[in-house]
Amino acid sequence: MALILGLESSCDETAAALVTSDRRILAHKLAGQEAAHRPYGGVVPEIAARAHVEVMAPLVEAALAEAGVTLDQVDAIAATAGPGLIGGVMVGLVTGKALALASGKPLIAVNHLEGHGLSPRLADPDLAFPYLLLLVSGGHCQLLLVEGVGAYRRLATTIDDAAGEAFDKTAKLLGLGFPGGPAVEKAAVRGDPRAVPLPRPLLGSAEPHFSFAGLKSAVARVVGQYSAEDIAASFQQAVVDCLLDRTRRALESVEASALVVAGGVAANASVRAALERLAGEHGRRFVAPPLWLCTDNAAMIAWAGVERFAAGLTDPLDFPARPRWPL
């Protein structure tokens, strides 16, 4: 049994967690920064980095206390090393390096996307490789064939905006505030998904990729002509249609035991329901982590650490923070 401390600070959540190789989450601490960024309508990198500096060390102490363990009992320290906002990534990574140096335990530099991508295996012990992963977050929209730890075959990506980014921009256009995804989902409940004609970029296209910029521009053109609720519902339906179409195309082209969704947008109930139906139609299992594990957290980083540690993958203390780091 291995015990891993995980650290996350690549965007606007500071987080520390302790997870065991037998899938027990001994502690999972999270400090959001929404209030600090709200006046600006989006994440301000400098404010984020400063907030990470202030709360990271106390969060690590709180996580160790909650788990009732000391650093000596930890087998390795896993920290997000990218991709993300460089100032924030450095805070978590440097903290991880310092703890590794002080305790003599190995450092595991985790790709944030790998954290999202392996998190379904923390939630579901029966999820075996290979699986088709739809990774939909604020910065990414990708279809990946996950063949094993460190073995990710990218089948599709977005040629412009990420799905979460489209949610965030739509929320801003509709004056729904920040963060945008949950606000759009909430408004959409009271709207009609067929009320506003919106484009479905690349729907039915022979190429595998996603595109959301045209959808966002279309939303900008109809603001004021329809209610915010109808625009939110129609926008959400357009995103679901695009995600479904591209995922169906991939599902039909690969051997995969399951369809898996991860990343912040996977917290959206309409997205989850549509994907679950799609998987059912194709006779595949559908796996989605619980909502709290979809959005940024450190348990997924600790779990990626568990998987990498088991594979003998540790990293040197001079591992660099990488603002861009494709899987």
**Distance in Å, CB of 2 to ligand KG4, minimum:** 25
Residue 256 neighbours by CB under 8 Å, 6+ apart: 130, 131, 132, 145, 284
Q: Is residue 296 part of the contact set for Zn ion (CB under 5 A)?
A: yes
**Distance in Å, CB of 68 to ligand KG4, minimum:** 28
| Contacts to ligand KG4 by CB under 6 A | 11, 137-139, 164, 167-168, 179-182, 185, 263-265, 267-268, 295-296
**Distance in Å, CB of 296 to Zn ion, minimum:** 4
> Of 82 and 263, which CB lies nearer to ligand KG4 in the complex structure?
263
190: nearest Cα among 163, 227, 222, 242: 227
Is 135 labeled as ligand-binding? yes
| Lookup: tokens for 298 | 């450190």
> Of 300 and 306, which CB lies nearer to ligand KG4 in the complex structure?
300
**Cβ distance 219 to 170 under 8 Å?**
yes
> Of 131 and 178, which CB lies nearer to ligand KG4 in the complex structure?
178
| Lookup: tokens for 162 | 């990420």
Torsion of CA 132, 137, 140, 141, to 10 degrees: 50
* H helix count then E strand count, the chain: 11, 10
**Distance in Å, CB of 288 to ligand KG4, minimum:** 12
**Distance in Å, CB of 238 to ligand KG4, minimum:** 13
State which of residues 111, 137, 158, 268 lies at the interface with Zn ion (CB under 5 A): 137
Is 168 labeled as ligand-binding? yes
Is 138 labeled as ligand-binding? yes
Within 4-23, which residues bind Zn ion (CB under 5 A)?
none
Is 136 labeled as ligand-binding? yes
> Of 181 and 191, which CB lies nearer to Zn ion in the complex structure?
181
Say how far apart CA 246 and CA 147 lie, in whole Å: 20
Is 253 labeled as ligand-binding? no
**Cβ distance 274 to 280 under 8 Å?**
no
Cis peptide before 179 (omega within 30 of 0): yes
Binding-site partner at residue 268 among Zn ion, ligand KG4, none, CB < 5 to 8 Å by type: ligand KG4
Say how far apart CA 131 and CA 305 lie, in whole Å: 19
Say how far apart CA 45 and CA 85 lie, in whole Å: 6
> Of 119 and 234, which CB lies nearer to Zn ion in the complex structure?
119
Binding-site partner at residue 161 among ligand KG4, Zn ion, none, CB < 5 to 8 Å by type: none
Contact positions toward Zn ion, by CB under 5 A? 137, 296
